[in-house]
Structure 1
Amino acid sequence: MFNALYFRTFITLVETGSFTRTAQRLEMTQPGVSQHVRKLERYLDKTLLERQGRRFRLTEAGRRAYDYAVKLFSEHEQFRHSLDDESLDSGECRLASPGSIGLMLYPFILGQQQRHPGLTVSYCFAFHQEILADVLAGRHDLGIVTEVTRHPDLECEAWHDEPLSLVVPADFTGTSLNDLLGLGFISYTDGLDKAGSLLRANFPDDFSSMSHFPRQGFTNEVGMVLDAVARGLGFSVVSRLVLETSPWQRQVREMTLTHPMDETLYLVSRRGARVPSRYHHLLEAFREQRHLERFGHPEGRQAEG
């Protein structure tokens, strides 16, 4: 007989790689985990694991069973969430984004949750490839990324623009590209690409490549970049979202540029899956707030007077 619980145990076992950790996570005994696997093997009439002492590896049937189980539970979650997809103020929101976006978006959504007790939020801070993998697997309904994504099973649409900020130490007085060269660059994941685009637009006659800039450091957490800048160790280029949420914003300053540039944020979802209306409601409210903060009037309307 088909038993979804056996598949759930098997998924957890594959993802943890351990009978012990599986038992702990599922609040079972180790013999109970083994029993579920044996019953699943009996049901499928296939050996799923090749045991090697305390370790194991998947057979070909095991790999296929795992892929099927992940897809099965993903579709189940999609179906469950689709049942209340018309409600704007209730239901679960499962999103993922880089930290540069989530540092401001997540608190905004939590504020909406306080106003609407029927709303729940599951928010993951992750890198680009993790976001895509989790959306594909159904662990998130929506991902927010900073670059166009082309994948046959994903839909990607432009959502919102945020300014890029060239951030220097508060006491930095330089204005030229040579001054920035002397300061050096603090990098992070995708930082070189953003900096290259912004500097090329503002110093077209002098800029050729980010490879000419001394690398003064790197961190994979964009929220920590401005700590290095505040200490005078270099400059960086980050989303305005990062600057506005940084605890070091008073120890740095945004350098005035002739040609400001925006970074486009994109929404990623599974192709063919209907994203519940509450997501669009929340994201539109956030975009309206950002537009109001930036321009002083709601998006799409003229300021009065």
Structure 2
Amino acid sequence: MFNAQYFRTFITLVETGSFTRTARQLEMTQPGVSQHVRKLEQYLDKPLLDRHGRRFTLTEAGRRAYDYALKLFAEHEQFRHSLDADSLFSGDCRLASPGSVGLMLYPFILGQQQMYPGLTVSYSFAFNHEIVQDVLAGRYDLGIITEEVRQPDLNVEPWHREPLCLVVPADFAGSGLADLMGIGFISHSEGMNHAGALLRSNFPAEFRSMSHFRRQGFTNEVGMVLDAVARGLGFTVVSRLVLETSPWQRQVKELDLAVPVHETLHLVSRAGVEMPRRYARLLEDFREQRRQALYGYSEQPGFGQAADDGSPSQSR
């Protein structure tokens, strides 16, 4: 007999790679996990695992069963969400974004949840490629990414732009490219592309390549990169969202530049799936808040038009 719980246990087992971790995550016993897998194998009349002691690999049938199970639960979640799709103030919100966006968007959405107890929030901080895969698999309804992707099964549309900021130590006294080269560059997951776009636009006669800058360090957690700058170890380039949410913002400073460059954020959702109205409300309320903070009025200038400000086409 078909049992959705067997498929749910199997998904968790594949993703954790461990019977013990699966049992702990699902609050089951390890023999119970094994029984679910055996029942599923009996139902499908195919072995799903090649067992090697405590380790295992998926058989071909196991791989296909995992893919099917993901689609099964994704369609179930979409059906469940569709029942309250018209509600602006209740329902599940399942989103993913890079940390550079989530540092401000996630607290904003939590504030909305406090105001409207009918909302529930599942928010993941991830890299662009992980977000795309999670949205395709139905793990999240909506993703926000910092680069445009081409994928026939996805809707991808520009949503919002944030200025890029060149951030230096608080006691930095220079202003030119040579001064920046003197202190070196602290990179992060989006740092090289961001810095290249910003410096190329503001120092067109001098800038050649980021390879000419001394690398002073790297972190894949963009929220931590300003710690290194605050310690005087180098400069970096981040989104305004990162600077405004950083605990080190008073220990660093933004270097004034003549030519603004922006990072474009894109919304990603599954093609052919109508997004519940609560997402549009949340995103527009957040964008309105950012417009007011950045520009002092509600219309973000130039958005949706051809960029002439050196905006980077990709951020990873």
TM-score using structure 2 length: 0.92
The corresponding residue for 1:199 is 199
Asked if 1:100 corresponds to 2:84, the answer is no
Amino acid at match of 2:91: G
Note the residue ranges of structure 2 that are not aligned, 5 or more in a row.
302-316
Asked if 1:291 corresponds to 2:291, the answer is yes
Asked if 1:169 corresponds to 2:169, the answer is yes
**Displacement of 1:240:** 0.4
**Residues in 2 aligned to 1:230 and 1:53: alpha-carbon distance in whole angstroms:** 50
**Displacement of 1:298:** 2.0
**Displacement of 1:58:** 1.4
Amino acid at match of 1:21: R
Local SS of the residue matching 1:292: helix
**Residues in 1 aligned to 2:179 and 2:50: alpha-carbon distance in whole angstroms:** 61
Counterparts of 1:1-305 in structure 2 under 5 Å?
1-299=1-299
**Residues in 2 aligned to 1:227 and 1:30: alpha-carbon distance in whole angstroms:** 43
**Displacement of 1:23:** 1.9
Amino acid at match of 2:180: L
Amino acid at match of 2:147: E
**Displacement of 1:194:** 0.5
**Displacement of 1:300:** 6.6
8 A contact 2:165–2:240 mirrored in 1: yes
**Displacement of 1:250:** 0.9
**Residues in 2 aligned to 1:251 and 1:32: alpha-carbon distance in whole angstroms:** 53
Give the stretch that moved more between structures: 55-64 or 160-169.
Answer: 55-64
Local SS of the residue matching 1:95: strand
- Number of equivalenced pairs: 301
| Runs of 4+, deviation exceeding 3 Å | none
Note the residue ranges of structure 1 that are not aligned, 5 or more in a row.
none
Amino acid at match of 1:14: V
**Residues in 1 aligned to 2:230 and 2:20: alpha-carbon distance in whole angstroms:** 46
Amino acid at match of 2:212: H
Give the stretch that moved more between structures: 30-39 or 88-97.
Answer: 30-39
Local SS of the residue matching 2:217: strand
RMSD: 1.3
**Displacement of 1:15:** 1.5
Amino acid at match of 1:284: E
Local SS of the residue matching 1:138: coil
TM-score using structure 1 length: 0.96
**Residues in 1 aligned to 2:32 and 2:230: alpha-carbon distance in whole angstroms:** 54
**Residues in 1 aligned to 2:77 and 2:52: alpha-carbon distance in whole angstroms:** 34
**Displacement of 1:285:** 0.4
